[in-house]
Structure 1
């Protein structure tokens, strides 16, 4: 079973896309942010910049999926922090953080196939299994966490489900677009997940 190293990290799912709005499975299809998603990325960046401005240093580097929707979100967060704090947090692209491939289901409505994909080992034609996604996500994040620097990972919803599996947390939990999470190991509960409220951001 894949397991995540017990070190703190931050996670941010990309902002909204038109396919998100329509309830379509995106997977590895490279769909850009829509106007709402661009604004969500700005708000997430402002909320995180407020943490730096308050004297905290929540993370010291940003790792992003190569897909446009995630990379645009990551670059926006980087720019918001630099604008607010005159601090440029290093950003790098990590191909292992790309979203799962849903094969023939990409571009179709999220439907009855999705839960069996997570829970029963069902794999759509030409898709990546949930087991393989979990192993890839855990391997990528464990490599990142081997550094002493705390990272912000900007990636995807299904990939975070794989990470939840590797953290021994309930898996089928939907992650909202562009809401920052702080994840901290806890000896009693396994992991604490703190949601950073966007309404705290200065607009």
Structure 2
């Protein structure tokens, strides 16, 4: 079988500000662009090539994917973008700084929202202008399918649908696949690939910005090998 590589986007502007981002369409910082380029160079140096790429529909991931394949000189590969690979929706916490949320709810509760597998944040109001059903990019999706706040468990269930319908069939065709995504949707993918991992271990799985996680799979999609490519100055966003 081919390789499956999962890469979290480079640092975003709200990562830098330590704000809950979720489905808000925030772009990369200059540092984030460099992180994505370093990921592309590391993949090229490792001799990994891709037949197809998947992304979310948020620009920090889409731009990271562009920069990665640009560095690899393979911008010609097909790309499929889908909302089910979006970041976990942080509900009413969206846009708020971690410090402000801790001041209101306390550190223990915020830690549970960030690292509890089944814990949902307060939901976003349906009438909020930022609610997904009010965005044109989601206009063809039934409003009751779109989240107003998610736990990591919810995110896994949402990603699993796309994994089974779109990603798994491609992997079974011996394709080399790049998935450029977000911290919690990467955790969801790891859970699907490694179902024996505990809820707590999944929730705490380290997801640095711009560090390729490389899986080698057999024909039954069982893991033969998993490794992270070495990247200088790799950092994780503390908001996750």
Q: Please, what TM-score do these two structures have when normalized by structure 1?
A: 0.79
Q: Which of 117, 120, 123 is equivalent to 1:122?
A: 120
Matches within 5 A, 1:1-203: 9-52=4-47, 56-57=48-49, 59-82=50-73, 88-110=76-98, 112-116=109-113, 118-126=116-124, 127-142=149-164, 143-147=166-170, 148=173, 149-166=175-192, 167-168=194-195, 169=197, 170-171=201-202, 172-185=204-217, 192-199=225-232
Contact 2:216 2:225 in 1 (8 A): yes
SS for the counterpart of 1:9 is strand
For structure 2, the 5+ residue unaligned runs are 103-108, 125-148, 233-240
How big is the alpha-carbon RMSD for the aligned residues of Structure 1 and Structure 2?
A: 2.6
SS for the counterpart of 1:146 is helix
Contact 2:117 2:151 in 1 (8 A): no
Q: Return the alpha-carbon distance in structure 1 between the equivalents of residues 75 and 210 of structure 2.
A: 21
Instruction: Report deviation, 1:190.
Output: 6.0
Contact 2:117 2:153 in 1 (8 A): no
SS for the counterpart of 1:113 is helix
Q: Please, what TM-score do these two structures have when normalized by structure 2?
A: 0.68
SS for the counterpart of 1:48 is helix
Encode CA deviations 1:60-107: one digit per residue, 9 max, x unaligned: 21111110100000011121111xxx6733222122211121111112
Q: Return the alpha-carbon distance in structure 2 between the equivalents of residues 24 and 73 of structure 1.
A: 19
1:16–1:87 CA distance, 2 compared to 1 (3 A): closer
Instruction: Report deviation, 1:28.
Output: 0.4
For structure 1, the 5+ residue unaligned runs are 1-5
Contact 2:121 2:151 in 1 (8 A): yes
Q: How many residues align?
A: 186
